[in-house]
Amino acid sequence: MQRRQLVLYGAAGAGFLGLTLFVGWWRVDGPGAPEPKGQRPLPLSAMEFRLTDHEENEVGPGNLIGRPTMVFFGFTYCPDVCPTTLSDISGWLEELGDEASEMNVVFITVDPERDTVEAMAEYVGYFHPVIRGWTGPEDQIARAAEGFRASFERVPTEGGGYTMNHTASVFLFDAEGELVTMIDYHEPREFAVPKIRRALTEDVEGAT
């Protein structure tokens, strides 16, 4: 009897701990998290930068206005965060079905030294066809990051090489270029996809 009570108490404690961790994630990193003060991205219409997409077209924030937009910063030599996030994004787009074609989805490099137009074209080819790769001069990448309130830094590695630290969240904007929300790294699909649908819905409501 005593042993059975211990098992029941242990199960109840584990359930409570799981619930506590979930609530903590929701408030700190999940959909219920407050936006950091002073870190809200500018509207796309207020940003100024010029880059080149993976098909050698000149692009900038103006190309993103008119459709809901997802933007993610990273680099092609990224060992885990970038391929994981782009795979997640590809899964979200697959779930959206035909609605995916109604969105701009852009991957902006923070490593233009290595991420040429050709490198970006090859890299984004491994993911959903809607995803575009943008690269360009370092000063324009920096201006883009400043507008999105994203951060990145070059970190030396052994042997004289380097890697990049960077913001891992996905920025989600409505068709008018206003921030809807952000999707956190490794955010569960059941939270991420409704956020995207919210941006698509706001697009429809704004057009009526």
pLDDT tens across 105-162, in order? 999 999 999 999 999 999 999 999 999 999 999 999 999 999 999 999 999 999 999 9
Would you state the pLDDT for residue 203?
A: 55
Q: How far apart are CA 29 and CA 193, in angstroms?
A: 16
The domain at 44-205 falls in which architecture?
3-Layer(aba) Sandwich (3.40)
Element (H, E) at 181: strand 179-183
Q: What residues of the chain score a pLDDT lower than 70?
A: 1-38, 203-208
CA 186 to centroid of chain Cα atoms:
10
54 is in an annotated binding site: no
CA 187 to centroid of chain Cα atoms:
10
Q: Decide: 89 and 55 in contact? Cβ < 8 Å.
A: no
Would you state the pLDDT for residue 140?
A: 98
What predicted TM-score, i.e. pTM, was given to this entire model? Answer: 0.79
Q: Domain coordinates of the chain in residue numbers?
A: 1-33, 44-205
Would you state the pLDDT for residue 202?
A: 77
Q: How far apart are CA 11 and CA 19, in angstroms?
A: 12
Would you state the pLDDT for residue 131?
A: 98
